[in-house]
C-alpha cells in the first residue's frame, strides 16, 4: 500500500490574509508531496511494512519494527506526512473560527487557567523551537493537557517523543510554512495562525484523544 497526498480540505486561498495562497500551494503541493514520495520510496525496500497505516508507522518510530536501514527516512518523511495531514485539518477559513468550546475549553482552563494563557504558552513553545519543528497541544495518557514541541518532523505519538500524547493542535514552524509572507518574523506568523484555527476540529480531536483513538485524527 502506497501513501497518497490528501487534497486540501479548502481552497489554497481559504486562509488569506493570515496564510497566503502561494505558501499553501508550495507547502502542500511540493513539501507535503515530497514527504509522501520519500516515505513510499523507503518502504519499497521492506514490503512487509506496506500494510501499516501512517499512524501505526509513526507509532513504530524508535522501535525495532522499523529497520535501521530506513529508520531515518521513515522518521523524517513518515512524520512529515502525518504532521501535514493533521495540520491541514486543524485550519479553516478565518470566518469559521470561533474558539474552543465544551469539554476542550474546560480542560484548557483547568490546565492553563484560561484560553489566552494556553495560547501564550503555546506561542512561547513555537517561538522557542530552535530551527525547524512543531508546537503541539496534546492529551497525555492520564487525560491532562500539555504543551510541547518537537524537532524536525517528529510528533508526540512517536515512541521517541519527550512528551508523548495525542495531538489536539499542531503548528508547523518550519520556515517553508511562513517565510514567503512573514520572512524571519516567526512570532508574527504564530500570532496570526490563531485566526485560522479550526476549533470544531480541535474539539473533535480532544474527544478522540481522550478515548485513545489515534486514527480518528486523520
> Is 31 flagged in the annotation as binding?
no
185 backbone dihedrals φ, ψ, rounded to 5°: -95, 65
C-alpha grid cell, residue 64 = 525495532
Answer whether 149's CB lies under 8 Å from 125's CB. Answer: yes
Enumerate residues 6+ apart whose C-beta is below 8 A from 5: 28, 32, 33, 36
Answer whether 66's CB lies under 8 Å from 159's CB. Answer: no
> Is 176 flagged in the annotation as binding?
yes
Measured distance CA(177)–CA(135) in Å, rounded: 13
Measured distance CA(175)–CA(23) in Å, rounded: 10
Helix (H) or strand (E) holding 172: strand 166-172
Among 82, 98, 95, which Cα is nearest to 201's?
98
> Is 56 flagged in the annotation as binding?
no
Measured distance CA(92)–CA(78) in Å, rounded: 24
C-alpha grid cell, residue 17 = 490574509
> Is 32 flagged in the annotation as binding?
no
Annotated binding site for Mn(2+): 27, 84, 172, 176
Binding residues: 27, 84, 172, 176
Amino acid at each position: 500500500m502506497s501513501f497518497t497526498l490528501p487534497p486540501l480540505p479548502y481552497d489554497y486561498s481559504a486562509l488569506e490574509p493570515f496564510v497566503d495562497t502561494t505558501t499553501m500551494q508550495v507547502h502542500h503541493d511540493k513539501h507535503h508531496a515530497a514527504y509522501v514520495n520519500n516515505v513510499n520510496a523507503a518502504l519499497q525496500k521492506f514490503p512487509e511494512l506496506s500494510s501499516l497505516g501512517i499512524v501505526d508507522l509513526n507509532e513504530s518510530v524508535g522501535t525495532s519494527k522499523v529497520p535501521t536501514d530506513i529508520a531515518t527516512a521513515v522518521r523524517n518523511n513518515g512524520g512529515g506526512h502525518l504532521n501535514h495531514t493533521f495540520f491541514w485539518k486543524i485550519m479553516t477559513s478565518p470566518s469559521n473560527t470561533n474558539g474552543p468550546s465544551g469539554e476542550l475549553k474546560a480542560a484548557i482552563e483547568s490546565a492553563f487557567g484560561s484560553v489566552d494563557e494556553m495560547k501564550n504558552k503555546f506561542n512561547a513553545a513555537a517561538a522557542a523551537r530552535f530551527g525547524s519543528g512543531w508546537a503541539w497541544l496534546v492529551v497525555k495518557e492520564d487525560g491532562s493537557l500539555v504543551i510541547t514541541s518537537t524537532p524536525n518532523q517528529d510528533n508526540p505519538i512517536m515512541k521517541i517523543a519527550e512528551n508523548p500524547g495525542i495531538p489536539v493542535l499542531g503548528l508547523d514552524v518550519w520556515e517553508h510554512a511562513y517565510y514567503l509572507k512573514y520572512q524571519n518574523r516567526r512570532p508574527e506568523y504564530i500570532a496570526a495562525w490563531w485566526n485560522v484555527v479550526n476549533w470544531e476540529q480541535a474539539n473533535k480531536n480532544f474527544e478522540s484523544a481522550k478515548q485513545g483513538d489515534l486514527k480518528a485524527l486523520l
